[in-house]
């Protein structure tokens, strides 16, 4: 059976752990949101205004705590969580995503879909590798929705010269993305078998949980793949 995958968009993880900042003490601090510096000298507030203020805090832990509280404030909280999906820190974005997934309101689901459209999680500069006793399974995705798969003893360093969609000896298929659920569907052909695959993408795009089914004999199973960066072509 042959496999290959690629994912897109890993952003910077800019964590700031300046623990000298005490969110319970009113005072003056510089907050950063995106690329804009925001100066504020107001006392720490409660309610939704306090949540907004803490989402500007320079300490990541305080922003994460604010996200957990935002969910209490209905539509205003959803708006803040959606805004946090654009935060410059990856931990903040991921936590906002996780909270929005638990909210059934249409506005929350729309925010998730828009996030997935902006931050497609498949990595295209790697292959997804599943280790077996004597061999590896690989999946590789391309931005044009091509997917290729293979089973081989080769390491990523060895397969970089031949494991690509230009190689006519490798069967390729078209994958379908269900962005709302972070699911990718495709088929893998090996000899006389057709394997139907459903790939669940991890939140950072570094892992794939692949469920597969061989309809001809009704065999099924599940494998976990790890993103392995491809070395440069010689």
Which pLDDT tens digits describe the chain residue by residue (234 residues)?
A: 333 333 333 333 333 333 333 333 333 333 333 333 333 333 356 789 999 999 999 999 999 999 999 989 999 999 999 999 888 887 898 899 889 989 989 999 888 877 766 655 788 888 999 998 889 999 999 877 899 999 999 998 899 899 999 998 898 898 888 755 578 889 887 666 788 999 988 877 889 999 999 988 888 999 999 999 888 654
- 0.75 exceeded by pTM: no
Can you give the pLDDT at residue 183? 84
Can you give the pLDDT at residue 117? 62
Residues 61/64/69/75 CA torsion (nearest 10 deg):
150
Q: How far apart are CA 202 and CA 118, in angstroms?
A: 16
User: Do 165 and 148 touch, CB atoms closer than 8 A?
Assistant: yes
Q: How far apart are CA 128 and CA 115, in angstroms?
A: 23
Pairing of strands 207-214, 193-201: antiparallel
Q: How far apart are CA 179 and CA 162, in angstroms?
A: 30
Can you give the pLDDT at residue 9? 36
Handedness of CA 66, 71, 77, 79 (dihedral sign): positive
Can you give the pLDDT at residue 188? 83
179: tokens are: 């962005």
């Amino acid at each position: 059976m042959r496999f290959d995958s690629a994912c897109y968009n890993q952003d910077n993880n800019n964590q700031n752990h300046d623990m000298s900042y005490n969110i319970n003490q009113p005072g003056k601090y510089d907050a950063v949101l995106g690329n804009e510096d925001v100066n504020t000298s107001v006392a720490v507030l409660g309610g939704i205004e306090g949540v907004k203020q803490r989402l500007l805090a320079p300490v990541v832990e305080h922003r994460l705590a604010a996200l957990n509280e935002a969910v209490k404030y209905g539509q205003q909280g959803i708006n803040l969580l959606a805004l946090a999906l654009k935060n410059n820190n990856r931990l903040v974005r991921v936590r906002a995503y996780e909270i929005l997934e638990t909210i059934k309101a249409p506005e929350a689901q729309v925010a998730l879909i828009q996030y997935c459209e902006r931050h497609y999680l498949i990595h295209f500069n790697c292959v997804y590798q599943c280790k077996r006793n004597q061999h590896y399974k690989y999946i590789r995705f391309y931005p044009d929705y091509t997917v290729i798969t293979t089973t081989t003893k080769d390491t990523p360093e060895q397969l970089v010269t031949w494991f690509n969609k230009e190689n006519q000896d490798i069967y390729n298929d078209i994958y379908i993305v269900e962005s709302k659920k972070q699911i990718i569907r495709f088929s893998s052909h090996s000899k006389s078998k057709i394997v139907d695959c459903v790939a669940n993408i991890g939140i950072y795009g570094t892992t794939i949980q692949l469920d597969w089914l061989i309809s001809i004999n009704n065999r099924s199973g599940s494998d976990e793949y790890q993103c392995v960066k491809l070395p440069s072509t010689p």
